[in-house]
Amino acid sequence: SKGIPPLRILWLRNAIDTDYTLRLYHAERKRINAIPELARLMKFLMLPAANLLAEVELQGMAIDRDRLNKRAIICESEKWKSEQRLSKHLKGAKIGEDKKGRRVVIDPDFGTMPINWNSTKFLGWFLYKHLGLPLLELTKTGKAGTREAVLLQLKRKHKAVGQLVEYREWQGRQSKFINSWMKLLKEHKDCPRLHTTYNLTKTDAGKGTETGRLSSSDPNMQQVPRESFIRAIVTATTGWKFGKADFAQIELKIAAWLADEKNMKAKFRNREDIHLATACDVSGLKPEEVDKETRKKAKAINFGFLFGMWPKKFQMYALEKYDVVVSIEEATQSRNKFFNTYPALLDWHENVKRRVHSAGYVKSPLGRRRRLPHIHSMDKSMQMQAERQAINSPVQSTASDLCLLGGVLLKEKLSPKIFRIVGFVHDEVLFEYKEKHEEKVCSTVKQIMENLPLKRLFGVTCPVPIEVEIDVG
């Protein structure tokens, strides 16, 4: 037909493509085999994982269309209610109407602005001039800061800020998930499933992560909030049930392994609750005296200081991630107590920095390498960023690799007639299974993922027990 080259041209192009692909195969095979640990990683993890992820993408995640529609209605209603609550705080402002019939605020300094709770200019006026809240930061262009981290700091100064945060939450649910999922499902009317794309490696198009951690896009199923409002839209195929296998506290365990932190390893071997232990160590309370707020603070301490975070940054981290307010004095004391309890972590940080300055790359226990050329930069801030990446990358990549390895082994062990993996979310494997095989599936998933053959495949042994929590529904 018109526009298609003749076969003699297509044959030649195909032959050239095949020839170059074969040449690349031989060249890359030689390079990889020159580093045995990389060859093992490629053979036992990367290639099987690539095949597995292709199947998982094709399988997709089942969506409860009725629940999605109901959530859409709730979302729109709650967003409208939030807007009404916020509008009550405009009392005293000069409000009019523009030529397009929109309600506007008229201010001598800011001019005429449509009442738009998504507008940076309008929010700058509302928060800092109308409500008189303290200006905490400016953007690069010199405008008043209205990002989430700023709002969280202002939240306790005026109830309107809390209502604005709530509005943004409903807005985010609607735009990032409800609307985008509905649009994607229109393309698959007869098959209500979402088909994400998993990025096993960093691509030239910018997709994927440099840390070696698995990511997904179009849609990003790894950013689905933990709350059930959105997560419960994902369901199982009719006649199947949904399951989740979650590596418990895996990044803390890998860090304890890499740092050879004896106190932390001992707590994991004794099956202690590491967050409860940290809460007791830092606060001086007995286990039965630790309340929900103290435990949340302990989680922030464990995950914040694990990679060497400083007190000022920890203040923001605790507020943004855990909604916990910590003074700079408390942050400093918590940091000191944390590293007194787990002193080998600081030694590990320093050892990693020395090695990356010398070698220019870092290596995970499974052999994955990350090159960090900015470690040799003349810019001190670039050097420090590379040092942080050198500490983070082996932990994050190993957690992701263990999850992928578990998925590869489960695919080999369980028949697709009763079990199929439908997704990966950081340190979780999501799967569907036939209900009558629940006991067999759950016991097999737990047994395989808690006993990964790391010694046989990669020549390493994890010194702390790997535990998997399984939820089904």
Structure confidence at residue 137 (pLDDT):
86
Structure confidence at residue 380 (pLDDT):
92
For helices 344-359 and 250-259, angle between their N-to-C axes, nearest 10 degrees: 70
- Pairwise CA distance, residues 283 & 301, whole Å: 12
421: nearest Cα among 402, 440, 408? 408
Report the 3 state secondary structure along the chain.
Answer: CCCCCCHHHHHHHHHHHHHHHHHHHHHHHHHHHCCHHHHHHHHHHHHHHHHHHHHHHHHCEEECHHHHHHHHHHHHHHHHHHHHHHHHHHCCCCEEECCCCCEEEEECCCEEEECCCCCHHHHHHHHHHHCCCCCCCECCCCCECCCHHHHHHHCCCCHHHHHHHHHHHHHHHHHHHHHHHHHHHHCCCCCCEECCEEECCCCCCCCCCCCCCCEEECCCCCCCCCCHHHHCCEECCCCEEEEEEEECCHHHHHHHHHHCCHHHHHHHHCCCCHHHHHHHHHHCCCHHHCCHHHHHHHHHHHHHHCCCCCHHHHHHHHHHHHCCCCCHHHHHHHHHHHHHHCCHHHHHHHHHHHHHHHHCEEECCCCCEEECHHHHCCCHHHHHHHHHHHHHHHHHHHHHHHHHHHHHHHHHHCCCCCEEEEEEECCEEEEEEEHHHHHHHHHHHHHHHHCCCHHHHHCCCCCCCCCEEEEEC
Structure confidence at residue 426 (pLDDT):
83
368: nearest Cα among 7, 19, 42? 42
Model confidence at 24: pLDDT above 90: yes
| Backbone torsions φ then ψ of 241, nearest 5 degrees | -120, 165
What is the pTM for the complete model shown? 0.88
- Pairwise CA distance, residues 386 & 377, whole Å: 9
HSE-CB of 354 using CA atoms within 13 angstroms? 6
Structure confidence at residue 190 (pLDDT):
65
Of residues 165 and 210, more confidence is placed in 165
Structure confidence at residue 163 (pLDDT):
95
pLDDT of 163-204, one tens digit each? 999 999 999 999 999 999 999 888 766 678 999 999 998 766
pLDDT of 254-285, one tens digit each? 999 999 999 999 999 999 999 999 998 888 88
Burial class (CB in 10 A: 0-12, 13-18, 19+), 110: middle
| Backbone torsions φ then ψ of 187, nearest 5 degrees | -80, -15
Mean pLDDT, rounded, for 401-419:
96
**How many percent of the chain have pLDDT more than 90?**
74
Confidence band for 431, pLDDT divided at 50, 70 and 90: very high
143: nearest Cα among 162, 123, 157? 123
In sequence order, the β-bridge partners of residue 111 are 107
Peptide bond into 219 cis (omega under 30): yes
> Given CA atoms 273, 454, 372, 217 in this order, what sign does their dihedral have?
negative
Is there a contact between 421 and 446 (Cβ–Cβ < 8 Å)?
A: no
Q: Quote the mean pLDDT of the chain.
A: 92
Of residues 136 and 55, more confidence is placed in 55
Confidence band for 109, pLDDT divided at 50, 70 and 90: confident
CA-derived radius of gyration, the chain:
26
- Pairwise CA distance, residues 95 & 395, whole Å: 54
The label of the residue with tokens 């994607």 reads 184
- Pairwise CA distance, residues 46 & 39, whole Å: 10
